[in-house]
Amino acid sequence: MMRPRKLVTVSHSYVVTLNRRLANEMTRVGAGRWDITAVAPRAFHGDLSPLVLQHEPGEPVRIEAVRAFFSRSLHGFVYGPELRSSLSRGVDLVHAWEEPYVMSGLEVALLTPRRVPLVFCTAQNLTKRYPPPFAQAERFVVHRAAGWVAWGQTVRDTLQARRDYALRPSRFIPMGVDVEQFQPDAAAGADFRRKLGWETEGPPVVGYLGRFVPEKGVRLLMEALDGLHTPWRALFVGGGPMEEPLRAWASRHADRVRIVTGVSHAGVPQALNAMDVLCAPSQTTPRWKEQFGRMLAEAFACGVPVLGSDSGEVPFTVGDGGQVLPEADTLAWTTALAALLESPSARREQSRKGRERALSHFAWPVVARAHLDFFEEVLQRRA
């Protein structure tokens, strides 16, 4: 009987328990075939406040804590020298959940023994030229890698146009969603609406979930709602610099609009279940286009019909589970919203399709298995 293959997966994101879901799910799915260790920082500065490595009882993955230095910068931070030991103890494959152009990605590539295949993952869906030393770091990591995972089809398409990337095996694998935490729950949705001061019965609720910023299409959604003659209510969940103009717009619509900020990730399923349709009207800019769109997969899992723009990765995430609309066509959005709001049967059908897509494409066991299958392919190529 063959011994389990030893996989070490490294990520600064693993400082947070929720972000270790991939590592934990790979451990469950790969039981008996893979021996998996997750390397995580002991502490990390984080976007909003310092983070200390969280440990949850019952996590199946083995966790090794290492130091992280200069963690105020995602591009410039590095792990402590003890990382070398984690990557060299009989390891069969190293998985780096760090972009190839950042210093930590370079460090993992340098410290992984030459005999050990390295697979990195990336979410870059725009062609970019990085300044030194990041351009040199990317070149080294790509040359060193035995394969790479793209967090989106547009990511893979963009990077395969570059020779160094195209010469190495790659796989498009989406991000995962917890289809047990995110699932249809009419009672939870009704309770959320009641807390907002809305009656359970009333016009359908058009939802938005994400940052209140121009590139996320907040302005377009406001204009599309203004054009509706069908009765509606609107729920905006998130936060950001457009909160003030959004509230000014909401004040013109009396009781029809609610804006909710400060919702934790644990509270998102209830907020989604309060919506009858989720809109993701992302707008492409010269320096940004939508990547995975986690809110789309989470809405699918909750059985919420989805309307998404044709920006970046959105069409690939939506697939056959929802509707894709031109990102700059306000009339198209108003028309599609009217059709859905006026047809409960159409909403039920989209709800069914979305839930099926969540289970077949985005459930964590599916995503974890896809990673392990790709790792095995990489090892077979090396053999």
Give a yes or no: residue 181 inside a domain: no
* More confident position, 317 or 47: 317
pLDDT at 46: 67
pLDDT at 125: 87
Q: Indicate if 332 and 263 belong to the same structural domain.
A: yes
Predicted TM-score of the model (pTM): 0.91
Residue 71 reports pLDDT greater than 90: no
- Give me the mean pLDDT over the 7-15 stretch: 96
Regarding whether 326 and 216 lie in a shared domain, the answer is: yes
Helix, coil or strand: residue 14: helix
Three-class SS state of 276? coil
Domains of the chain: total: 2
Q: Residue 47: what pLDDT? A: 64
Beta-strand (E) ranges in the chain?
A: 5-10, 34-41, 43-44, 51-52, 62-66, 68-69, 78-79, 93-96, 118-122, 147-150, 170-172, 205-211, 233-239, 257-261, 277-280, 306-309, 323-325
What mean pLDDT, rounded, does the chain reach?
94
Q: Are residues 12 and 159 in the same domain?
A: yes
Q: Look at residue 241 and tell me whether its pLDDT is greater than 90.
A: yes
pLDDT digits (tens, 9 = 90+) for 290-319: 888 889 999 999 999 999 999 999 999 999
Question: Range of 316's domain?
Answer: 186-361
Percent of the chain with pLDDT over 90: 85
Three-state secondary-structure class, residue 348: helix
pLDDT digits (tens, 9 = 90+) for 190-214: 999 999 999 778 999 999 999 999 9
CATH number at residue 197: 3.40.50.2000
- Residue 286 pLDDT level (bands cut at 50, 70, 90): confident
Residue 153 and residue 316 in contact, taking contact as beta carbons nearer than 8 Å: yes
Listed in order, strand segments (DSSP E) in 56-124 are 62-66, 68-69, 78-79, 93-96, 118-122
Q: What average pLDDT does this structure show over 108-133?
A: 93
Mark whether 170 and 274 lie in a shared domain: no
User: Could you tell me if 172 and 193 lie in one domain?
Assistant: no
- Considering the domain architecture, whether residues 227 and 122 belong to the same structural domain is answered as no
How confident is the model over 106-118, as a mean pLDDT?
A: 96
Do the domain assignments include residue 39?
yes
